[in-house]
Amino acid sequence: MIKPGILERIDPVGAPVPVLYTLPHSGRDYPADFNSALPPDILRRAEDAYVDRLLEGAEARGATVLKALFPRAYLDANRLEDDLDPALLPPGTPVTAGEKSKLGIGLVRRVVTPEFPIYDRLLSLDEIENRVSTYYRPYHETLGSVLSALHESFGQAVFIDWHSMKSVGNAATPDGAGATRPDFVLGDRHGKSCAPGLTRAISDYLTTQGYRVSVNDPYAGGATMQRYGAPKQGVHGLQIEMNRALYLDEKAVTMTDGVPALRKALSGVLPAITAFLG
């Protein structure tokens, strides 16, 4: 199922497994009403660029895949719906800013990185509501529907929220400017969104592939984990952040010759999940 510019849902080929791969930040279909002040080459640095291509073929191994096609800089599907930035709105507009919006990276981002403001104008609440109703809600309605169906069919469900992260932190990241990152960060909200044993199984697998893995540091899992992860009810949510230096020229936003090795390693994550589930 494809909703042009909004989302793509890819159902399993052959025997399904109770696993959903979600990709909220790799979208690169830029809406005509964006009206950003930044050139495309800077704006694209906000993307978790090409994560979808790294995971191609997951449906052939039984996973369901859900991709947001709209760009993260336009609207962030991995935020709470009310996480609005008052600095983007006319003075006095009643909003409640979450921690991400205070950093300029809330539901509607104010910056790509702190030195690159996205807009040279203010937005209206109507403009934001249109983005939410057109893009955010259909994405989450589909995500919730797929998870419910998997849980009903199998008695359990796992969703992996796939991301990429800058190789070096900045002033808007939890680890601060200049911080270097491991190859992978697994976030399960400190065991609240995923059984620790499943987190450990994936961490162990990636470690055996030669990667440096951190758990919940500096990213413990975003709003999607908070909203859907319920391991006591058999719904396990894990956020996986990949260091962009593994596969991307971060400035040019182009893939490097590291792609084949990373893609091969990622193909082993799904068997690690199904082995854990038994």
CB 71 within 8 A of CB 28: yes
Instruction: Name the pLDDT band for 78 (thresholds 50, 70, 90).
Output: very high
Separation CA 78–CA 25 (nearest Å): 8
Helix axes 269-277, 196-208, angle to 10 degrees: 140
- 55 C-beta neighbours (distance < 10 Å), count: 22
Measure Cα distances from 147 to 159, 195, 205, 228 in Å. Answer: 8, 16, 24, 9
pLDDT over 90 at 200, yes or no: yes
Class of domain 2-277: alpha beta
How high is the mean pLDDT of the chain?
A: 96
Q: Where are the domains of the chain?
A: 2-277
* Dihedral over Cα of 266, 191, 63, 26: its sign: negative
Separation CA 45–CA 43 (nearest Å): 5
pLDDT tens by residue, 145-184? 999 999 999 999 999 999 999 999 888 788 888 889 999 9
pTM: 0.95
Instruction: Name the pLDDT band for 96 (thresholds 50, 70, 90).
Output: confident
Instruction: State what percent of residues in the chain have pLDDT above 90.
Output: 90
